[in-house]
Structures are given as C-alpha cells and as structure tokens.
Amino acid sequence: ECPPGLPIGCSRVAVLNSHRTGGVEPLEVRGVELGLVTDAFKSTAEKAGGRLLYRGAIADGSAGEFQHYRFISTLFGFPDDLFARVSLTAEEAAVLVEVQGQLRIGYGDMDVNTNRNIRLLQSVKEATS
C-alpha cells in the first residue's frame, strides 16, 4: 500500500489498494511458468535502469517472489523505489504481476512512477507472450 502522505509520489498497480495506476490493471500471464515470469520481470526492470536490492520469498508465504529495485530519476537524480510481487493467482491459473513505485524523498514525481509501472508491465507482457 502507498505510504500515507505520499498521494502523488506513489503509484500502485495491484489487486488491492491500487493508486495512480495510469489506467492499467495488474498483469495476468497465462500459460507461462512462475519462474519465467519472475526472471522476465527482473530482466525488464534492470534494462529499464533498476538496481536490484532484494529478490526473495513473499512474506506471507504465497507462491511467488518479491523484488525490490532502486531507480534514479534522469531529470533530478532522485531515488525511487520499485516493489514487485510476482505470484500465482488464487486459482493458480495465471501468474499475477503487481507493482508499486514510490519516491524516497520529496512529494510529487511528475508521474514518473506511474509511467514506469505502465512501461514495465507492458514490457513483461511482451516478453512473456
């Protein structure tokens, strides 16, 4: 969930508590193994300039992976965090990709996190089709 007090510096595309999504939904990938989708997300995020800070199990024990990246904005050099949860849907019929991008400092982000989330989800969709 986006932190309180950061309404325009956070973008969350998720099943629960979505915020500033740019009109996109969480990505559901069908017919592709979970591990291939987690690897595709990692590759896509790193190609977009993200530095992987953590990659590991989801805290609630769900099947899948949690990934944390740091991006540096090109305009002012501010750091942003990107969190990704790649997990199986409840019915295990698809792999679900949810993302949240947020500022580390400041208040507004000129839609940088929203646009990054949209591009990453689209790139993962293309890489796994």
Output the pLDDT for position 6. 64
Ramachandran region of residue 115, left (φ > 0), alpha (ψ -120 to 50) or beta? alpha
What is the block-wise mean pLDDT of the chain (129 residues), using blocks of 10 residues? 79 95 97 97 98 97 96 88 95 94 86 96 97
- Answer yes or no: is 3 within a domain: no
Q: How many residues does the chain have?
A: 129
- Answer yes or no: is 84 within a domain: yes
Output the pLDDT for position 108. 78
Range of the domain at 78: 10-127
Is the Cβ–Cβ distance between 71 and 53 less than 8 Å?
no
DSSP-assigned letter for residue 111: T
Q: In angstroms, rounded to a whole number, what is the distance separating the alpha carbons of residues 113 and 129?
A: 24
Q: What's the domain count of the chain?
A: 1
CATH number, domain of 117, equals 3.30.310.240
